[in-house]
Amino acid sequence: MNNFARRLMTLGAVAALGFAFVIAALMGLAAADGVERWPIHIWSDGTRMAGDLWLPAGFGDGSDKPAILLTHGWGGTREHLNRAYAPKFAAAGFVVLTFDYRGWADSHSRLVIIGEQPQPDANGEATVRVRAIREVVDPHDQIRDITSALDYLSGEPGVDHDRIGIWGTSYSGGHVIHVGARDDRVAVIVSQVGYQGVGGWTPEVRRFARQRAVDKARGKIDPIPQGIDQIPSRGGTPDLAKMLDHRPIDWAGAVRVPTLIIDVTEEELFDHTANGRAVYDVIRQNAAAVYQTFPGKHYSIYGRHLAAASSAALEWFQKYLMAR
């Protein structure tokens, strides 16, 4: 009996009409090549994140499968990952997990109390007014969310805990270096067009970001800023105070697992040689590493180079996760 059938059996006794509806809905989640897609909930510091677990053909046959955690960039959502990457990796035999960061797309918001916090009752409960925090780009929170997703994935029955890879693109191309350096559950890393914390911080911008931190601490602006300091053509609010000292490159020396760095030669958002290339130069001293480039600008990696770049990542995962 395959995993899909076993999960259907857990539905229990349901009214005929309702049962038929549930069956139809679940069947709609099945993908080609025997791949199944299941919506899941991941809890990150008390907030629910929306995710999808992609199961390869043969999952649940008694042998544990390798897995890949896909993480998106600045304000990317799992919808893009589900469309462009997850089916390809799952069809190749990997369990794949995608998710939305807290406050983005289908995930719940973090909440900030408005006004004074009331005294909790005997059950530790209180009624408060809150503000929902949506679409804030905070690298520390995103790394926490990535770690929570890794926690979920490593607890999935049928996943080989020694064969988990992590893939990140754009802003999370730096996050995966940070996480891979610190978390020994990560066996393989792919970082695509990743910002590693180098460049963009002029003395003036640094002073401004420091003042934002001061103003937050003193209550002059919202403690979690929304709708300010926005960057043209990019969604979300950057939390500059949190971004200021975020430098994934500083963690590169602690990476000890095979790492593929994918860059574009005409990167317009940051200096790719001081970011991706520099991280590669550090990692290759301690682990297997490859630096691969494609011609074009940042977003070409999701367009004309999508097939080639995703294939390069897949081959890297196959090389280091499939072989026992």
Residue-wise pLDDT tens digits, 223-239? 888 888 888 777 889 99
Average pLDDT over residues 183-209: 96
Listed in sequence order, the DSSP H helices in 28-110 are 78-84, 86-91
What's the residue count for the chain?
324
Average pLDDT over residues 137-152: 97
Do 195 and 246 touch, CB atoms closer than 8 A? no
78 is in which domain, residue-wise? 31-198+247-322
215 is a domain residue? no
pLDDT confidence of residue 122: 95
Per DSSP, what are the bridge partners of residue 159? 65
Q: Number of structural domains, the chain? A: 1
pLDDT confidence of residue 62: 80
With bands split at pLDDT 50, 70 and 90, how would you rate the model's confidence at 32? low
Q: Among 40-54, 102-116, 162-176, 225-239, which stretch is predicted with the lowest mean pLDDT?
A: 225-239
272 is a domain residue? yes
Rounded Cα distance, 192 and 263, in Å: 6
Q: Among 15-24, 213-222, 270-279, which stretch is predicted with the lowest mean pLDDT?
A: 15-24
Higher pLDDT, 18 or 314: 314
Per-residue pLDDT at 107 exceeds 80: yes
- Amino acid sitting at position 288: A
Do 223 and 242 touch, CB atoms closer than 8 A? no
pLDDT confidence of residue 233: 74
275 is a domain residue? yes
261 is a domain residue? yes
What CATH number has the domain bearing residue 169?
A: 3.40.50.1820
Task: Please provide residue 279's backbone torsions phi and psi, each rounded to the nearest 5 degrees.
Answer: -65, -45
Q: Which helix (H) or strand (E) holds 235?
A: none
Rounded Cα distance, 313 and 189, in Å: 9
Per-residue pLDDT at 3 exceeds 60: no
298 is a domain residue? yes
Rounded Cα distance, 120 and 135, in Å: 29
235 is a domain residue? no
pLDDT confidence of residue 8: 38
111 is a domain residue? yes
**Per-chain mean pLDDT for the chain:** 90
Higher pLDDT, 135 or 25: 135
Rounded Cα distance, 319 and 324, in Å: 10
With bands split at pLDDT 50, 70 and 90, how would you rate the model's confidence at 262? very high
Average pLDDT over residues 62-69: 93
Higher pLDDT, 128 or 2: 128
Q: Which helix (H) or strand (E) holds 74?
A: none
Rounded Cα distance, 301 and 294, in Å: 8
97 is a domain residue? yes
With bands split at pLDDT 50, 70 and 90, how would you rate the model's confidence at 15? very low
